[in-house]
Amino acid sequence: MTDGVPERDNTDFPLDGGATPPIESILEELRGLRKSFDSKIRYDEVREGLVQSMSDELAQYRQEFHQTLLRPVLLDLVSLYDDLTQIIDSADTPPATASSLEFFRGSVEQILLRNGVERFTVEGDALDRARQRVLSTVDTPDPSLGRTIARRLRAGFSRDGKVLRPEWVSVYRQAAGAPARNGGAPEPATDATAATDAAATDATQATDEPGAIGMTNATDAARVTDGAGTENTEFADHRE
């Protein structure tokens, strides 16, 4: 001790150069901790990504499974809606009965709406092969009416932007021997051309939603075509 001041003890800081100062040891430990922390962060990010991916795939599977189970029920409701519409529009149905059935039909439509199904009618008179299905044809001598809508038989229904059931229509077909549009020979309306158009229609609908159907059965289709004109043979392959 000098003048009341204790002498400095150098035992904590050896000067022989063989020992590492405490500050360097602390820095090394901090570097090691940072590396371990970075590795843990990267591991957690990868694991979180895998868990999220698996969760998304499971949610998609559940959604598709739910739609697969719900689809037949929705199609049955659409068929019920069509049957009610046919009875309501029939001239033999008493007004009181038609009024009651209209209320019931509205309830069916509300059930469809709550499940994302919307009724639609394609605008314009031109045939839309992606959203309409031809059930019958009507001969016409006017070539300008060829392949335009003659009568709308049933409304279409869509779900999530995809066609659940296409609109059913009757279209005009140029009668054999009628003048062609170019003023020359009659425009050919061969079965091969009609079959090609029909196949294109089915292919387009299949692209929109695999397994989409347009008719419940042949008997129902026969009821719809009553009074619609010539029964459709040109688009025969549209039937299911």
Encode pLDDT of 173-229 as tens digits.
987 765 555 444 444 444 444 444 444 444 444 444 444 333 344 444 444 444 444
What's the total number of domains in the chain?
A: 1
84-139 pLDDT, tens per residue? 999 999 999 999 999 999 999 999 999 999 999 999 999 989 999 999 999 999 99
**Report field, pTM of the whole predicted structure over 0.85:** no
Could you list the residue range(s) of the whole structural domain that residue 205 is in?
118-238
Q: What is the 3-state secondary structure (H, E, C) of the chain?
A: CECCECCCCHHHCCCCCCCCCHHHHHHHHHHHHHHHHHHHHHHHHHHHHHHHHHHHHHHHHHHHHHHHHHHHHHHHHHHHHHHHHHHHHCCCCCHHHHHHHHHHHHHHHHHHHHCCEEEECCCCCECCCCCEEEEEEEEECCHHHCCEEEEEEECEEEECCEEEECEEEEEEEECCCCCCCCCCCCCCCCHHHHHHHHHHHHHHHHHHCCCCCCCCCHHHHHHHCCCCCCECCCCHHHCC
CATH number at residue 216: 2.30.22.10
Inside any domain, residue 112: no
Residue at 186 is within a domain: yes
